[in-house]
Amino acid sequence: MDKLELLLMSQRERDRLKVLHEVQKGHLSEKQGAAHLGLTDRWVRTLLSRLKEEGDGGVIHRSCGRPSNRKLPEALRARAVARVQEGYRDFGPTLAAEYLAKRDGIEVSKETLRQWMIVAGVWKARPRRVREVHTWRPRRACRGELVQWDTSQHAWLEGRGEEPLLIVMIDDASNQLHARFVRHDSTEENLRVLKGYLEHRGRPLAFYTDKASLFQVNRAASLDEQLQGQPVLTQIGRALQELGIEWIAAHSPQAKGRVERCFGTLQDRLVKGLRLAGASTLEQANAYLEEKFLLEWEKRFTVAPANGSEAHRPLGREHDLAAILSQVEPRVVTNDYTLRYQGKIYQIARAAIRGGLRGATVRVERRLDGTVAVQFRGRYLAVSVCEAPERDRPKPVRSPERVPKTSQRSPRPRARSWMEGFSLKSSPPLWKVLKQETGAGAPEREGR
């Protein structure tokens, strides 16, 4: 009994074997078989001779089962896997391949490294999932036409120090990134980031944010605000209005998907970059972000906009950033030309006093550097902090012979009634009193 031989063939080789058998039987000519297989007549004759000498196995490709001539050396594979297990264990294949090339001099493609990491158990292959079909909103055409703005709270320093927040502004057309670490997600910190963006790139046409209380007043308008007929604005909303920048509110996190996906990338790449840089403070994190990471982002993730024209507008002389990007509140000037702000009294200088100032409403600006400026009808007034006057009240004088009060009070004397002590039983009868005074006897009873 002949020994059975198992041959592993691809579908293409099985189809080729069937046509070659037809040619051997004479059902097809060599030219017709070559036309069916898309080969030349010469190559069909070569395959027929191999089929005659080696049997059906002659159709199998000669390189089947042999290592590729372009296969990377096994030593390089062992070195790359060992370096990943040592320093990049929680890195993805794409990011790990970049760091291997940049820091260790190991040039390997991300797909090759992915297979090596799967075999080594460092990376787990993810099953393919059929996702719901979603129609993406097209990018804006020009750079500066729309900028998405948001804040992310994440363990950026992985417990090596204080955990900062990251404020991000990303251009919708080009993916250009402007970011900074801050301690608090406050109005003041967001205004500082906005100032850096405006000084670096200019005024965009619109900012796209969520409906947080920093950008939108989340309360009902008061009666006075309704009578004024103007929308109530936050400090950031007022600043954007004075800068001529439109504010657009997103109705859901999915609506501002570009900045949300950006946070996903940053929480993977930026966290690992900060770890390798040894950043443990807010200052070190910002230094790495500005000096290294944003430059790498510019090369790796920015794209060319569909329209090369620039939508950013330059800052003009009328755009005083120190005044616009400040906490602005109205105050009323009193009759003695003072005003109260944050528990302090500010005195307007005599040289700055002009007609209509008494009882008028002025604009008080608390700027990002901590200084306070007062503006009236487009001109700034010189002010100074003055001490609150003490009221002239007589101080109580304590006499030395006065007995100090004790915690226990003496009981009040009980009020006495004019009837107290009087009793009809104890008083003598009236006739005895008259007898003693007149000498008369007791009155006689009737009928006696």
Same domain, 93 and 156: no
pLDDT band (50, 70, 90) for residue 448? very low
Return phi, psi of residue 47, to 5°.
-65, -35
Classify residue 275 as exposed, middle or buried by CB count within 10 Å of its CB (0-12, 13-18, 19+): middle
Give, for 277, the enclosing helix (H) or strand (E). helix 257-277
Region 133-146: what's the mean pLDDT?
84
pLDDT at 166 over 80: yes
Region 198-219: what's the mean pLDDT?
92
Same domain, 261 and 372: no
Q: Provide the pLDDT for residue 1.
A: 42
User: What's the token pair of residue 392?
Assistant: 């002239």
pLDDT at 100 over 60: yes
Q: Is 180 helix (H, G, I), strand (E, B) or coil?
A: strand
**Cα angle 425-426-432, degrees, rounded to a multiple of 5:** 95
Helix, strand, coil share of the chain (percent; to 5)? 40, 15, 50
Same domain, 25 and 79: no
Q: Provide the pLDDT for residue 414.
A: 63
How many angstroms separate the Cα of 270 from the Cα of each of 156, 186, 265, 383? Answer: 8, 23, 8, 46
Region 52-60: what's the mean pLDDT?
82
CA–CA gap between residue 280 and residue 182 (Å, rounded):
14
Same domain, 79 and 212: no
**What rounded mean pLDDT belongs to the chain?**
85
Same domain, 165 and 241: yes
Q: How many domains does the chain have?
A: 4
Same domain, 47 and 181: no
Taking only the tens place, the pLDDT of each residue in 238-280 is 999 999 999 999 988 888 889 999 999 999 999 999 999 999 9
- Virtual torsion, Cα 170, 172, 173, 176, nearest 10 deg: 10
Domain membership of residue 276 (yes or no) is: yes
User: What's the token pair of residue 280?
Assistant: 């443990």
Domain membership of residue 433 (yes or no) is: no
Give, for 379, the enclosing helix (H) or strand (E). strand 379-381
Same domain, 203 and 245: yes
Taking only the tens place, the pLDDT of each residue in 362-415 is 999 999 999 999 999 989 999 999 876 655 555 655 655 555 555 556 566 665
Domain membership of residue 405 (yes or no) is: no
Q: Provide the pLDDT for residue 319.
A: 93
Q: Under the phi-then-psi rule, with left for phi > 0, alpha for psi from -120 to 50, and beta for the rest, what region is 71? A: beta
Q: Contact 22/33 with Cβ under 8 angstroms?
A: yes
pLDDT band (50, 70, 90) for residue 232? confident
User: What residues make up the domain containing 205?
Assistant: 147-219+228-300
CA–CA gap between residue 299 and residue 264 (Å, rounded):
18
Positive or negative torsion for Cα 153, 159, 162, 166: negative
Give, for 188, the enclosing helix (H) or strand (E). helix 187-201
At 268, which CATH number? 3.30.420.10
Same domain, 209 and 244: yes
Same domain, 282 and 207: yes
**In the chain, pLDDT over 90 holds for what percent of residues?**
54
Tallying the residues shown for the chain, one arrives at 448
Q: Provide the pLDDT for residue 62.
A: 76
Taking only the tens place, the pLDDT of each residue in 21-43 is 888 888 888 888 888 888 898 98
Helices (H) then strands (E): counts for the chain: 14, 12
CA–CA gap between residue 203 and residue 310 (Å, rounded):
11
Domain membership of residue 193 (yes or no) is: yes
Taking only the tens place, the pLDDT of each residue in 260-271 is 999 999 999 999
pLDDT at 321 over 90: yes
Same domain, 171 and 236: yes
Domain membership of residue 201 (yes or no) is: yes
Region 59-76: what's the mean pLDDT?
81
User: What's the token pair of residue 345?
Assistant: 């009294």
Residue whose token pair is 């939108």: 216
Q: Provide the pLDDT for residue 231.
A: 80
Report the 3 state secondary structure along 390-401: CCCCCCCCCCCC
Q: Under the phi-then-psi rule, with left for phi > 0, alpha for psi from -120 to 50, and beta for the rest, what region is 26? A: left
Same domain, 279 and 365: no
CA–CA gap between residue 367 and residue 323 (Å, rounded):
7
pLDDT band (50, 70, 90) for residue 13? confident
Region 109-116: what's the mean pLDDT?
92
pLDDT at 430 over 80: no
Q: Provide the pLDDT for residue 83.
A: 92
Region 115-141: what's the mean pLDDT?
80
Domain membership of residue 65 (yes or no) is: no
CA–CA gap between residue 384 and residue 306 (Å, rounded):
54
CA–CA gap between residue 157 and residue 94 (Å, rounded):
22
Weakest-pLDDT range from 44-48, 182-186, 233-237, 317-321: 44-48
Q: What pTM, to 2 d.p., does this model score?
A: 0.70
pLDDT at 127 over 90: no
Q: Provide the pLDDT for residue 132.
A: 64
Domain membership of residue 401 (yes or no) is: no
Q: Provide the pLDDT for residue 423.
A: 58
Region 144-152: what's the mean pLDDT?
95
Taking only the tens place, the pLDDT of each residue in 326-367 is 999 999 999 999 999 999 999 999 999 988 999 999 999 999
pLDDT at 422 over 70: no
Region 287-311: what's the mean pLDDT?
94
Report the 3 state secondary structure along 349-371: CHHHCCCCCCCCEEEEEECCCCC
Same domain, 174 and 290: yes
Q: Provide the pLDDT for residue 272.
A: 95
**Cα angle 166-100-159, degrees, rounded to a multiple of 5:** 35
Domain membership of residue 308 (yes or no) is: no
